[in-house]
Amino acid sequence: MAKKKTITQTGADKNKDPEASQQSTPAIEWAVAALGAILLVAMLGYMVFFGLSRPESPPQILVTYGDARQEPGGYALEFTASNKGGSTASQALIKGVLKRGSETVEEAEVTIDYIPQTSDRKGTLTFKQDPSHFELKVGVAGFADP
């Protein structure tokens, strides 16, 4: 008499079955994937809009400063260089001049490596003499295109 074989399927064997492996993707995964796709499309759209809507214009650097403060060895004048233009400036030379009438008493300068469009950079000019005793002129002497 022939023996009858009984085959039982374990959990691991069930996953090998093509019909059993086609489980549906949970709704939360679809929601997260949709949110990611929406964010990606929104960011790309914003970058394209920003790139096309802003006309490129030359850098427009405005220098503002406050009062000089005394430090060991001289006076420090902190300033902010703001680029209001539509493109970047590099190697911006900020120059401060102390004058008495038409005579230049002292000069100080600093180079700012990089001022992106619509941004600010801070710096300090140092003088040996007190700027409050002279006519002070601070401005941009020049810059380069990066």
Looking up residue 93, the CATH number of its domain turns out to be 2.60.40.10
Q: What is the pTM of this model?
A: 0.65
Q: Is residue 100 assigned to a domain? A: yes
The number of distinct structural domains making up the chain is 2
pLDDT digits (tens, 9 = 90+) for 71-116: 998 999 999 999 998 889 999 999 999 999 999 999 999 999 999 9
Euclidean distance between CA atoms 54 and 52, whole angstroms = 6
Q: 4 in a domain, yes or no?
A: no
Question: Are residues 33 and 79 both part of a single domain?
Answer: no
**Together in a domain, 20 and 72:** no
Same domain membership, residue 25 and residue 72: no
d(CA 39, CA 81): 35
The verdict on residue 7 lying in a domain is: no
- List the domain range (segments joined by +) for residue 67: 61-144
In terms of Cβ atoms closer than 10 Å to its own Cβ (0-12, 13-18, 19+), residue 115 is buried
Q: Where are the alpha helices (DSSP H) in 24-138?
A: 27-53
